[in-house]
Amino acid sequence: MLSLVAVCPTPPILERMSDPLPSDLPSLRTLERYLVAQLAEVHAELELAEDAAYPRWWVQWQRTPPGAPWRGVLHRAGCWMPGTPDLRVADVRAVVAEHAGRIE
């Protein structure tokens, strides 16, 4: 995660949303950087929550000659291939880690 302290060590303090904004340019720039960093953190958390909310991928395992390892094709929701998404982000990472060389 992005550290807000590294971006703006001492952001201007606004007690309430109705407080007037600072009038000097350096304080406004500091406040802007602070708010942009906060918004980036919110977007990152939203993306994680949305990814975890519903399955978006599935693996289609293909037949191989006897004795050969199975090969799989990873599909995303919305793909034209028939299949039902049943994997979430963590599941996809686990499958790819386990079968890395056999997943396309």
Q: Are residues 47 and 61 in the same domain?
A: no
Q: 22-53 burial, b for 16+ CB within 10 Å, e for fewer?
A: eeeeeeeebbeebeebeeeeeeeeeeeeeeee
56-89 pLDDT tens trace: 888 888 888 898 888 888 888 888 888 888 888 8
Q: Are residues 73 and 90 in the same domain?
A: yes
Please tell me the predicted confidence (pLDDT) of residue 4. Answer: 52
Query: Who has greater pLDDT, 1 or 27?
Result: 27
pTM, 2 dp: 0.46
Please tell me the predicted confidence (pLDDT) of residue 37. Answer: 94
Give residue 1's pLDDT band: very low, low, confident or very high (50, 70, 90).
Answer: very low
Contact yes or no for 90/59 (Cβ under 8 A): no
State the Rg of the chain over Cα: 23
Q: Are residues 47 and 84 in the same domain?
A: no
Kind and range of the H or E run holding 60: strand 57-62
Q: Are residues 62 and 97 in the same domain?
A: yes
State how far the Cα of 13 lies from the Cα of 9, in Å rounded to an integer. 12
Q: Are residues 74 and 60 in the same domain?
A: yes
Q: Return the closest-CA partner of residue 37 out of 15, 5, 69, 68.
A: 5
Q: Are residues 30 and 62 in the same domain?
A: no
Give the residue numbers spanning the domain of 33: 4-52
Q: Are residues 72 and 95 in the same domain?
A: yes
- Asked if residue 5 has pLDDT above 60, the reply is no
